[in-house]
């Protein structure tokens, strides 16, 4: 499984796969956008920097951070 191969990946402020929602928000602060999918039990957060950099992080209540993506324009 790919996740097992990259389970030690860490992004800024010590966030990694499995980081709790509380720890994620403590590290990055209030996101610009939040999407909550209650049916599947996750939230998708977005942080922006000058509208040229976007950080997307998905987090499950029962499993913590499940994905992250940094996009630059």
- Predicted pLDDT at 26: 97
Say if residue 5's pLDDT is above 70: no
Q: Which two tokens stand for residue 34?
A: 């939040």
Contact 44, 58 (CB under 8 A): yes
- For the chain, list the strands marked E by DSSP: 33-37, 42-49, 53-60, 64-72
For 14-72, how does the pLDDT look when each residue is reduced to its tens digit (9 = 90+)?
999 999 999 999 999 999 999 999 999 999 999 998 878 999 999 999 999 999 998 99
Contact 40, 59 (CB under 8 A): no
- Rounded CA gap, 23 and 48, in Å? 19
């Amino acid at each position: 499984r790919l996740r097992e191969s990259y389970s030690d990946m860490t992004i800024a402020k010590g966030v990694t796969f499995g980081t709790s929602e509380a720890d994620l928000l403590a590290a990055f602060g209030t996101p610009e956008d939040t999407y909550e999918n209650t049916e599947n039990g996750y939230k998708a957060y977005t942080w922006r920097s000058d509208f040229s950099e976007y950080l997307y992080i998905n987090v499950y209540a029962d499993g913590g951070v499940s994905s992250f993506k940094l996009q630059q324009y």
